[in-house]
Structure formats: structure tokens, C-alpha cells
Amino acid sequence: MLRRLKVLFHYLRADAAMRRDQFDRAAERLSKVLELEPGNPFAHHDRGVAQQGLGDYRGSLADFDRAIAVAPRMAAAYSSRGISWKFLGDFDRAISDQLAAIALSPHLADAHTELGTAYFCKHDFDDAVRSLTAAIDLAPKNLDCLKQRGIALFCRGDFKAAIADLQRAFESANDTYALLFLHLARARAGQSWAAALETDAAKIKTWHWPSAAVGFYLDRLAADTMLAVTTTPDEAGEAQFYLGQWHLLQGEQAAARKALEAAAAACPPWFNEHVAALAELRRLG
């Protein structure tokens, strides 16, 4: 009884830490649980999730492996391991784990979402859209999934279809990345975009990243100013993507190619801008 109370105590502390994004403290508490119950698959799984929060995706694999070894029908462990594989750039293993999770729990919406994301990272936009559609059917209020499907449709070249998803994602959450891709989808579909972007931009501040890209598209910020707003190499890569899209809309293909190549090189392979840059470069030929 005393051991069980200690396990509960540490688990409650770990849960509280996770809710505050204190992943190091959560991992410490879950390690205490595992000292008391070494074969607890839920503690292994949750410690793996905490390690993901710390950015230690390689380290998280051992905990997910252990959870699966103890509880081989634990769908969440396969799905969580698949997320780690995605961030490690192994999209084939990510897909395999998400498919395993779905086979065990067909209604696990997060697994369908992550499966769609992994297909997207492999530039398999048809399967990405199908998987993300399944996820949306299971969790219609998941706006991130809706945005992701819109971006997958954009990358596939289905600009008109992308607009509905991206517009809903933006209007429901004021998601600036959704707005940027919505603007690009409208422009690429031949729709009038200036007035709509002006109206939508009133809902966000345009001097931070990524909102600075919206200010750039509205001619409120120069390209150099937009690039200077970024604070990390990843953000700088994203900025190159939006600069490349602007050049493309101006008919400046050489400048567009240069910026898109810079975006593809700078952004991690799971970033939307990395995938979209490569899709655009393929369209440019």
C-alpha cells in the first residue's frame, strides 16, 4: 500500500510538471515511479514524452521501446515513438509506427494526424491528405490538423481546395502560419487577395515572426526588415520560403528559386516550409 501511494504521489507531481511544460521535473518524477515499478509501461511512455519535450528524441526511443515490450498492444506508445522517429528524420519508421498504432486503435485520431504528417514529410501528399482527412473525421475540432491538410493540398497544387481548410484554421485560432498559406493559396488560385489579407491582418501584430511575413506581403515591411525580425536559423529559413513565394508571385523565377533553395537548406525536413519549398522547386522544374 505504501509503495502504491508513493507511485501515485510521484505520478501526480509528474502530471503537474507536464502541464506546466516542466519536462525535466516530469522526467525526474517518472524515474522515481520506475524505481518503484520498473515494468510500468505507462511511466516509460510518459517519461519518453517528457524527453520529447526536452528535445531528446533519441533518448525517448528507449522508453517507448520498453513500454511496447511490456505492453505490446499499447497503441499510444507506437504513436509516440513514431513522433520521435519523425523528428529524427526517419519518416519510414514514423509511418510504420503510426500504422501499427492505428491497427491497434483505429479511432486514435492523433495517430492518423501523425501518419498524415509523416506522409507529408515524405512528399506523399495524396496519402497525407487521406490520413489527415481521417483524423479530421475523428476529431473535427483539431485546427492544427485542418491547417496541415490545407498545407498538404497547397503543396499538391490544389490551391482552391486548400483555401477552405486554411481559412477555417485561421479564423478559428488566428494562426499566422495558416494565414500566410491562405494568402498564398488565394494568390495561386487566381483569387483577389489584397483586401482579404488586409482584413485578416488586422487580427494580428505584424512586427514579430512569423507575422512580419504578413507585413511584408502588405508592403508594410521591406524584405530586409522581415528577414531581420527572425531570431533563429529555423525562422530565417521560413522567411526565405515566404520571400521566395513573393518573388514567384512577381514572376521572378530566378530570385524565387534562390530563396526557396535557401529555405529548403535551412529548415528542418519536418517543417512545412521545407516541404513546401521543395514542392515549389519541383513545379519550377
State how far the Cα of 221 lies from the Cα of 204, in Å rounded to an integer: 15
State how far the Cα of 195 lies from the Cα of 239, in Å rounded to an integer: 23
State how far the Cα of 246 lies from the Cα of 256, in Å rounded to an integer: 8
pLDDT for position 206: 62
pLDDT for position 33: 87
Q: For the chain, what's the residue count?
A: 285
**Cβ(49)–Cβ(60) under 8 Å?**
yes
Within the chain, residue ranges assigned H as helices are: 2-19, 23-36, 41-53, 57-70, 75-87, 91-104, 109-121, 125-138, 143-156, 159-173, 176-188, 194-201, 211-217, 223-229, 233-249, 253-266, 272-284
Cell of 96: 510504420
Residues of the chain with CATH 1.25.40.10: 1-72, 76-140
pLDDT for position 22: 96
Identify the CA nearest to 180 among candidates 197, 159, 160: 197
pLDDT one-digit tens code per residue, 103-128: 999 999 999 999 999 999 999 999 99
Q: What is the DSSP letter of 267?
A: S
Identify the CA nearest to 170 among candidates 161, 181, 162, 179: 179
pLDDT for position 255: 98
**Which pLDDT tens digits describe the chain residue by residue (285 residues)?**
677 888 788 778 988 999 999 999 999 999 998 998 998 999 999 999 999 999 999 999 999 999 999 999 999 999 999 999 999 999 999 999 999 999 999 999 999 999 999 999 999 999 999 999 999 999 999 999 999 999 999 999 999 999 999 999 999 988 999 999 999 999 999 998 889 999 999 888 667 899 999 999 999 999 999 999 999 999 999 999 999 999 999 999 999 999 999 999 999 999 999 999 999 999 998
State how far the Cα of 232 lies from the Cα of 229, in Å rounded to an integer: 10
pLDDT for position 181: 98
Instruction: Specify the CATH number for 1-72; select among 1.10.268.10, 1.10.1060.10, 1.20.1440.120, 1.25.40.10.
Output: 1.25.40.10
State how far the Cα of 238 lies from the Cα of 267, in Å rounded to an integer: 7
Percent of the chain scored above 70 by pLDDT? 99
**Cβ(132)–Cβ(113) under 8 Å?**
yes
Identify the CA nearest to 96 among candidates 110, 87, 83, 109: 83
**Cβ(151)–Cβ(179) under 8 Å?**
no
User: Helix 23-36 vs helix 2-19: angle between axes, to the nearest 10 degrees?
Assistant: 160
**What's at 283, amino acid-wise?**
R
**What's at 149, amino acid-wise?**
R
pLDDT one-digit tens code per residue, 16-62: 999 999 999 999 999 998 998 998 999 999 999 999 999 999 999 99
State how far the Cα of 14 lies from the Cα of 50, in Å rounded to an integer: 9
- C-alpha angle with apex 200: 219 to 131, nearest 5 degrees? 110
**Cβ(139)–Cβ(109) under 8 Å?**
yes
pLDDT for position 9: 80
Instruction: Specify the CATH number for 76-140; select among 1.25.40.10, 3.40.50.300, 3.40.50.1820, 3.30.360.10.
Output: 1.25.40.10
In the block, cell 494580428 appears at: 204
